[in-house]
Structure 1
Amino acid sequence: MKKSYSGKFKTKVALAMIREQETVAELARKFEIHRSLLTRWKKEALEGLPEVFTNHKQRKKNDEKDLVNQLYQQIGQLKVENDWLKKKVDTIKIPERRQLIDKNHQKLSINRQCELLEVSKGALYYTPKPIDPYTLCLMDLIDRQHTKTPFYGNRRLVAYLNTLGYNVNRKRVRRLMQLMRIEAIYPKPQLSRRDKTHKIYPYLLREVRIERPDQVWSTDITYIKIGNGFVYLTAVMDWYSRYVLSWRLSNTLENSFCVEALEESLVISQPEIFNTDQGSQYTAINFLTVLEKRNILISMDSKGRALDNVFVERLWRAVKYEDVYLKDYQTMNDAYRSLKAYMNFYNNERLHQSLKYGVPRASYPKACATVSL
């Protein structure tokens, strides 16, 4: 039977996802629902918010008419429900609410009882299974080895894990790599995971000399381990200066955090060309529209050529070796605070050989206009 959840419960969960103070695994345990529902409700909430502020007057009139009709229909049902609720003890903890469900009630279905108590029906029959410590360990090992040897594909990573005593197969490693959004850096077919319905732009940077700031910007996403879960990090970088214009953390791969990072960077300036990979986060209409409205040329990496975006790949390598692996973040707040400090260090203090041992800020004239990350 299909599970049913109240709008109030969905709103509460979606807001928790949007706040991004906890990982998906932690929220799944907290609300006792499946991980996929967390991602879907967050997406639905973000897509539906604009409607809250449009056509308000017309909706108000329609709502008033509907309300009158609904009230008459609900009076009888509410009396039954109120009588039932009076017999139950008001409680907060979900496990205790679950004990109040009366599976033999003659007039209130289990679905309705769950709605009234704000308990998911699945919680009655299903114990959520977060990512187990063994899998998290594998993901951490894969991430570290990929950062060290980005040319390793899933076959070599399987062999590497086997030498460490982890008996894993190629299918599992490939699935974890997809979840972590990492791939080997070498040409191969069918590499990019994109939405086939989305428009794809050509790669514009082959044999192009990067000679000035704001000539080319690019962006990418990487995996970050946090405590008993993981999150995703995105950043927008100026190729010439290596200056990080903006960055964001998210507990899902929904592209809203990519759009936010893009919009924040465009407050500072705008590039002539913006380069991304062919991932669905960047081929989505809401991302491309931001660039098209400003007449920014869009470039997309060729299939199977991660080196087309090598500058951001180098950023990820620096972030992980110089901060993530050393700090071992336990919460999203830990990660945010530490990454904020590191990005400030990266832009203003870290010496870059490619900049003749200068710092990115010195090579990016508009750095003083950067908004606080």
Structure 2
Amino acid sequence: MTRKRRQFDASFKLEVVKMIRDQGLSVGEVCRSMDLGETGVRRWLAQYDAECAGGAGAGKPLTAEQQRIRQLEAENRQLREDNSLLKKAFGLLCTGTEVSYRAVAHLQEKAVSVSAACRVLGVSRSGYYAHRRAKPSPKRLHEQTHIRAAFAASGASYGSRRVMHAVREQGLRTGRHRVRTLMREADLRTTWKRKFVSTTDSKHTLPVAENVLDRQFDVAEPNRAWVSDITYIRTAQGWLYLAVVLDLYSRKVVGWSMAPSMPAGLVMSALTMALQQRRPVPGLVLHSDRGSQYASDAYQALLKRHHVVCSMSRKGNCWDNSVMERFFLNLKMERVWQRRYANHDEARQDITQYIVGFYNPVRLHSTLGYLSPAAYEAKSTAKEPICLSEIT
């Protein structure tokens, strides 16, 4: 069976290289998430490094102030990485809470209140007193270790149902109520606060498309129906807007783009990434809301050029694009609302890491039988029969 060679333009290659060089992602992570070959990506990296070494695009020497700023940025980045590593390591250690409880008892002997000690060490008073009353059995310690590891690996975002499926993949046969009890005792819970800013401007005179998708969210094949939308990310530097394209078949994010404003180019950039990655056949349905970006002439021309069928939600009806809305809610609960981004670059790096390093390859999805989008696509590909007409 001969596989058609994929072609990528220079702008797409540059975006992939920047994702690896500027945002600290590994070649393997990017290739698995975007379905690219490692040999080709490493060739792009070598070409980029050779061009930089040859003086292409070289600017003036940095001033002393610019060098100091670069040094401070590097130090801050290293401190954030070290702090994140310590938090993850502490959460994965089965003795982490035990050590904290012993520290609380020691501070209590030094006339420090239990409530103050628990607050500083990040443990609950109820958990501390429960620990003093009884010691867990070896079986309970074994279960708690797996549960803590699964919760920490999810970025403190999984509830009891997903934690249960995660530990079952590790060979621990336990029920949801048991997992929920152990999580409650260990004070493992997600915290988030909903915020709202409107990103849709449907008060325009541009033509809109019919609702072709009509809430048919269960799709039997990849690259048959996609959904897209825009959301906002709060940073200390101002709003950062995120456009995403998602394949309904596997709920995989196949394209995304971020910018400090919401022009039509934002959604076109996300769609271009998706088209470059997936190479869909003509007839793909792409659903969105009625925002001016999606109704613009430039965006519609891009759809027509690639033979993509445009579909739009009914006016003021968020349920027509509920799958996309749910992804944005998961993104914010599991990552954005747990962070305070200092600037746009920090937010870009973290959100890209969420998509490439967690959501696509790792996050368990209830609609997919508690498989990740990447695992679901890999499983379905393995089951596909070989078409004799494709063998040359």
What TM-score does the superposition give when structure 2 sets the normalisation length?
0.44
What TM-score does the superposition give when structure 1 sets the normalisation length?
0.47
